[in-house]
A and B are shown apart, each in its own frame.
Chain A
């Protein structure tokens, strides 16, 4: 589904990604872990199409199309979804209106008619249950005055509404207490099918107890330096990131 080859990216003159290779197939859950500053969030932003980052080398193929040539909105309509680490507060734009616009833009892209008001509300009610989000939140301005947990649940709610092929969760666990974490993870798990895939970006292993990955990759200095199964996450939790650094240094010398 997603094939990243030798991806290099920089912001202004600062090189952040230094040759990432990653392949994600339908039905899989991948986790990317790594210390602060290793380039995890940059990878998410580059995939979603944030314009501050300049891709200097490499390619990203998303189900046969060149992802890097597309505008952010086109990527989203093709089925890529980024759950933001810091969802933006947008006063004056109602959550419901925003989601309705987003859903109908994707439908238009697929050649479908826009959802009528009744079907939209029905879908919304159903998906709201999934992340236990309250109606009072969706009638408010987008993320305005939402708590940290509410913002993250709102991200997963949007994901549930948009049903992406590939969901990238950027530090979705940050700032969540254990109950909120479970609600968010349950939502993500409920949305898993054999046809979609999830890329979980996280600093801590904690989230991976709930969203169990098929593959774990360690990102360090803009490169994937180690890959393995879910047990790699536990090893990292136990030994910390230093053991990766030591391994790498040992390999060099």
Chain B
């Protein structure tokens, strides 16, 4: 059975179990969109460089209920951060029973519970807002299965002291798996939180993740969001992070991709209120046959917003990178400051990068800038290091580490930062 056939039969199965209600109507609308749009092809401008057909032509299992992994499997993915809250998705289904919620400042529910709870209003207001920006079949496909997702509220006036880690575990020991994690988070007024998503599969079969994570950030709140991808080449990923800055607030996002098969990250930063501030950072450091595509949208709707976007790429082997950064400045968004920069280093003759800034400005009193570079490591710098007795490999490693450091230093939670530092040093063989 092909993935598209699996989708139709599983959709019926899920609807029979999950019933109607608020999520049911979201699913019903979404499956219609999906049935019309289908899996995006390269004919769609937004998907020009990222081909999904070679993946979706394969067979995948699709779980709609949770399976419980062993403790060993769970431990293999955990970072050493005992104080952190830990939330687990297994095969795309949020498993509340496995999760550790150690802060009074957090409300964690299953999304279908949330839709019937006192937080129903948040679900109505913020669920599926990303579909306004990502109108393709992948976003709709995730919404067509929305049920057992994650719902988090960071309570008003509360500061969550320790990071919240969201772990995604996919079991590919015996079958290919298609998984669709769905999350909605609301950071209430004056609240502060750091949230990080990490992914792991534990088998040699293929996984294909189609994720949507939506976050609404309210007045005076502060959000730090991190996404770290370090899966094997048999793991494919299409993910959308949609951040709605509802009130005047501050956000800081870092996406780091170290490995994977075909990886597509959409990140949307919607500056809905005046005086909003948002920062988007990204590092992709890939080799082999990895394909990584970072698509961002910064939408300035109201006046006096500030946004800064900085992505860096190191591409080796036959890997390909894509950066597509879209900035909208709407007619009312006077005094917008929006900056964007993308820098790439190609390490081999077969590495490729496509980088494209897109600015659509409808206001006349704004400051916007964008820039991108694609190059090799600086030969002069390399020679300087070697002329001091540092071997070629180590000299390259030092330069690449320095190149990546700009983004790594934006990773604030210590446990995550040291995890990434180690991974990158390991990759560069810096201690050899």
Contacts and interface: CB of A to CB of B under 8 A. Distances in A.
B406 A92 contact: yes
A71 to B, nearest CB: 7
Contacts of B389: 73, 76-77, 102, 105-106, 109, 162
B388 A98 contact: yes
Given A90-B402, A93-B399, A98-B398, A50 B390 contact: no
Interface in B383-401: 383-392, 394-395, 398-399, 401
Contacts of B403: 92
Nearest to B378: A88
Given A92-B403, A101-B398, A87 B384 contact: yes
A84 B384 CA distance: 8
Contact of A105 (B390, B399, B401): B390
Interface string B361-392: 00000000000000000101101111111111
A75 B384 CA distance: 13
B386 A76 contact: yes
B405 interface: yes
B324 to A, nearest CB: 26
A158 interface: yes
Contacts of B386: 49, 71-73, 76
A82 interface: yes
Interface in A10-62: 48-51
B390 A73 contact: yes
B298 to A, nearest CB: 26
A91 interface: yes
Contacts of B388: 73, 76, 98, 102, 158, 162
Contacts of B394: 101, 105
A61 B389 CA distance: 19
Contacts of A141: 402
A88 B380 contact: yes
A143 to B, nearest CB: 9
Contact of B383 (A72, A102, A105, A158): A72
A43 B378 CA distance: 22
Given A93-B398, A102-B390, 5 more contacts: A73-B386, A73-B390, A91-B402, A92-B406, A105-B391
Interface of A: 48-51, 71-73, 75-77, 82, 84, 87-88, 90-93, 98, 101-102, 105-106, 109, 141, 158, 162
Interface of B: 378, 380-381, 383-392, 394-395, 398-399, 401-403, 405-406
